[in-house]
Amino acid sequence: MKKINPQIPVIIGYFFVLLFCYAAVSKLLDFENFQLQLAQSPLLSAYAGFISYAVISIEFIISLLLCFPQTRVVGLYASLSLMSGFTIYIYLILNYSDFIPCSCGGILEKLGWTEHLIFNTICVILVVAGIIIFEKRKAPRLILPAVFCSSTIVISSAIVIILFSSSEYIIKKDNNFTRRFLLHPVLEDKSLDLALNSYYFAGISGNNIYLGNVTAPLLLTTVDTALNTTRVLRVHLDKSDYPFRSLQLQVKDSSYYLYDGSIPIIYRGTLGDTMVHTISYQDAFFTQLAIIDSLHFIIRTQSSQNRQYMLATLNLPEIPKLHLYPSILEKQIDGVFDVDGKFTFSPNSTEVLYTYTYRNQILAMDKQLNILRKLHTIDTTTIAKIQTRRLSDGTHKMSAPPLKVNGTVASNRNLLFIHSNLKGRHESSKMWKRASVVDIYRTDQQEYIGSFYIENKGKTAFSHIAIDDQYLYVLIEKELKRYRFREPISKYFN
């Protein structure tokens, strides 16, 4: 039998020295951001200050232990303990957390969470192999090293699991509101395999649904509302030499619009025509856009003085084109995250809706941004439960996991559909793992209509919804699903 090279544990040890030193130095160089990322964790937010120093110190200490022959085996066991804890934590975040925070510096910041899990698992296997090879030189029987390795993994994992299960999940808490679930308000009747999970709804016009694609922003996909035929249009820009970050598509009536608010530009094209033309350039930067008609828009932009969000109208025929309304979005904490929300503008309504993400409020406005009504969702979150910090470069970042109240929204006529992120009183935890809740509100007056569930696909909830007078359309994983409205909802559209 070929003898195993005794230098393998040394090589493995130096690999972890490089890994831990690089990770620790990377965290130190961007320490402020590292602390913020830790504070966003569902598990670590309460201990972010202590852990930010402890993790860096432990990584340096383990690196020192691995450098010397006398302490190398201790360093390997310490590496196994740390990597086991990291691995089970990432597994729990991916599979059991309702809130997935940012990654935490160093090499990990360049990887997605799934890649983190794979990388850490390989590291655990590698360090176990190093320990076994190292210990085999002392004694041919490996029972004791195997027991030590198993115990280290189990203890580290158990500590993380106990902390995770006992941590205060922001979204898992029951709230003091009670939903009224409607009796079979929607019925799934058809689905279409889209082959990709990167689509979003660009709009509904006539008998067609229009889809944009985040990975192919110049493709406009048309699906008939019967979900029978699909056509793809490749869009050509009249001028395209801009450093776009995220081009978005919207369809309104017989036109489609392409824009990227980080570049102050809006294109417009006619449905069926591949060429889009610039209709607005250098008029305004924006983070969201609602299309009123071909020349009039409502945008959400940021103040050049304090970088807080505000609403504005962009009317291309007028001089000046841009009119700012800094007082509409009411600041509670930072004027950025606390006023975050989503526009909805139904083709069957003259009102623009702005639904706050982190508080239970909906603004109903006319096309000139006059507030018509301030409506409320049924939960009790009147003040945004967020913690933010302004960094030295002027940007704002979350410093703790937020309480996200409202998710994806869609509207039609005088009804607003909201994917809720809060579990109400007496609701089944088992059902919340299987399905997502949609709440329905009237927008012409303060009235909660009721709620219903949309089944998840495996562990994945739907990502986008769209509505017309007959159907609710849902994008979930790689599928477009159609649900027929039944009497509890359809009566509002008839």
pLDDT > 90: percent of the chain? 52
**Is 113 found in the same domain as 190?**
no
Q: Which two tokens stand for residue 343?
A: 């526009």
The amino acid at 444: D
Q: Is residue 222 a part of any domain in this protein? A: yes
d(CA 152, CA 135): 15
- Helices marked H in 390-459 — which ranges? 429-434
pLDDT of 432 reads 84
Span 211-217, average pLDDT: 95
**Residue 179 in this model has a pLDDT that exceeds 80:** yes
Helix axes 143-166, 72-96, angle to 10 degrees: 40
pLDDT of 170 reads 42
d(CA 200, CA 211): 6
pLDDT > 70: percent of the chain? 87
pLDDT of 51 reads 77
pLDDT of 168 reads 45
- Residues contacting 76, CB < 8 A, separation 6+: 9, 12, 13, 16, 66, 127, 130, 131, 134
**Is 102 found in the same domain as 196?**
no
Q: Which two tokens stand for residue 141?
A: 């029987």
Q: Is residue 38 a part of any domain in this protein? A: yes
Residue with tokens 């930067």: 285
Q: Write the DSSP symbol of residue 263.
A: B
* CA Rg value for the chain: 27
pLDDT of 140 reads 63
Which of 4-8, 206-210, 271-275 comes out lowest in average pLDDT?
Answer: 4-8
Contact 76, 84 (CB under 8 A): no
Residue 133: φ, ψ to 5° = -65, -40
**Is 195 found in the same domain as 156?**
no
Q: Is residue 16 a part of any domain in this protein? A: yes
**Residue 86 in this model has a pLDDT that exceeds 90:** no
The sign one gets for the Cα dihedral 215, 219, 225, 229 is negative
**Residue 169 in this model has a pLDDT that exceeds 60:** no
Out of 113, 134, 166, a domain closes at 166
d(CA 66, CA 63): 5
**Is 101 found in the same domain as 246?**
no
The sign one gets for the Cα dihedral 13, 19, 24, 25 is positive
- Measured CA to CA in angstroms, residue 375 lies from 82, 407, 416, 445, 447 at distances of 49, 16, 11, 8, 9
Span 224-242, average pLDDT: 94
Q: Could you tell me which residue, 147 or 464, shows the higher pLDDT? A: 464
Out of 104, 132, 166, a domain closes at 166
Secondary structure string (H, E, C) spanning 305-344: CCCCEEEEEEECCCCCCEEEECCCCCCCCCCCHHHCEEEE
Span 373-391, average pLDDT: 85
Q: Which two tokens stand for residue 278?
A: 């610039």
pLDDT of 422 reads 86
pLDDT of 3 reads 60
**Residue 380 in this model has a pLDDT that exceeds 70:** yes
Contact 249, 255 (CB under 8 A): no
CATH of the domain at 261: 2.120.10.30
Mean pLDDT across the chain: 86
Q: Is residue 409 a part of any domain in this protein? A: yes
Count structural domains, the chain: 2
**Is 240 found in the same domain as 157?**
no
Q: Is residue 171 a part of any domain in this protein? A: no
Residue 7's pLDDT band (boundaries 50, 70, 90)? confident
Q: Is residue 180 a part of any domain in this protein? A: no
Residue with tokens 């009566």: 491
**Top-confidence range, 122-136, 395-409, 458-472:** 458-472
**Residue 434 in this model has a pLDDT that exceeds 50:** yes
**Is 222 found in the same domain as 144?**
no
Out of 166, 195, 212, a domain closes at 166
| Partners of residue 452 on adjacent β-strands | 438
Dihedral, CA of residue 316, residue 321, residue 326 and residue 329, to nearest 10:
0
Span 124-152, average pLDDT: 81
Q: Is residue 179 a part of any domain in this protein? A: no
**N- to C-terminal Cα distance for the chain?**
81
Which of 230-239, 269-278, 330-339 comes out lowest in average pLDDT?
Answer: 330-339
Residue 454's pLDDT band (boundaries 50, 70, 90)? very high
**Is 474 found in the same domain as 402?**
yes
**Is 115 found in the same domain as 68?**
yes
pLDDT of 164 reads 72
Span 166-177, average pLDDT: 51
Q: Could you tell me which residue, 394 or 297, shows the higher pLDDT? A: 297
**Is 90 found in the same domain as 199?**
no
**Is 258 found in the same domain as 368?**
yes
d(CA 234, CA 170): 43
d(CA 174, CA 248): 36
Span 292-313, average pLDDT: 92
**Is 133 found in the same domain as 216?**
no
**Is 141 found in the same domain as 39?**
yes
**Residue 331 in this model has a pLDDT that exceeds 80:** yes
**Residue 144 in this model has a pLDDT that exceeds 80:** no
Q: Is residue 281 a part of any domain in this protein? A: yes
**Residue 294 in this model has a pLDDT that exceeds 50:** yes
Span 350-373, average pLDDT: 94
Secondary structure string (H, E, C) spanning 409-425: EEEECCEEEEEECCCCC
For 245, the domain range is: 186-490
Contact 73, 134 (CB under 8 A): yes
Q: Could you tell me which residue, 393 or 94, shows the higher pLDDT? A: 94
Contact 418, 441 (CB under 8 A): yes
